[in-house]
Amino acid sequence: MADEKPPAPSLTKSCTPDAFRRHAFVRLAVESWQDAVCESGDTATLREWLADGRPLIVRRPCLTGDGRYACLGLALPGKRRLAYRVPVARVLSIEPPPLAQGIDFSVPGFELRLFGSHAWQRLTGLSYVTETSDIDLLLDLSTLEEWRTWLSRAVALPSTPQVDLEIVIRGDASFSWREYLGPAHDILIKSNRSVELVPKDHLTAFFP
């Protein structure tokens, strides 16, 4: 890498508080490791990671209560997971998970994105995907009309290779599509700040 340092970070429109959502990837200033709070992990790993220009991922609760720190995760090959809190002022950019291009599962009219091992491998160039790795996909729905259109297609997931689809409502409340298709009355909703069980027929309340 060149020794030239990146410009001083600032909180731009793309880094507003509501942009800090689960599954989003964050680019940090290289020297951010100096200000990081280690919850599980070490500063040496973070320092090397940032020096290589690699991103971290936003994790629940996304921001601390005072809004000063972003809650971030760093996934290493081999399923080691590290957790940090980094000053929001050190965030250079926030980007959505990569598009699920080249994945043998698509639904016309809907944009799918990757998370999990396939996303980390695509963004870092490191080896995360193994023969037993699931293909973790995200579908972000914004309106009740989109949800009803999705339901009308009654999309089933292929079982081989293993595909797990997480539906995200308006960038916040999310749930497993496979669980939704199951027999249980309630479904686990994971939001940017909490987790709760909700009756399946109450999902429409999460839409405006």
Residue 18 is a catalytic residue:
no
Residue 52 is a catalytic residue:
no
**Catalytic option among 18, 42, 134, 186:** 134
**DSSP letters of the chain?**
--SPPPPPP---GGGSGGG--TT-EEEE-GGGGGGPEEEES-HHHHHHHHHTT--EEEEEEEE-TTS-EEEEEEEETTTEEEEEEEEGGGEEEEEPPPB-TT-S---TT--EEEETHHHHHHHH-S----TT--EEEEEEE-SHHHHHHHHHHTPPPPTTTTEEEEEEETTTEEEEHHHHTSS-SEEEEE-SS-EEEEEGGGGGGG--
**Catalytic option among 66, 136, 140, 172:** 136
Active-site residue list:
134, 136
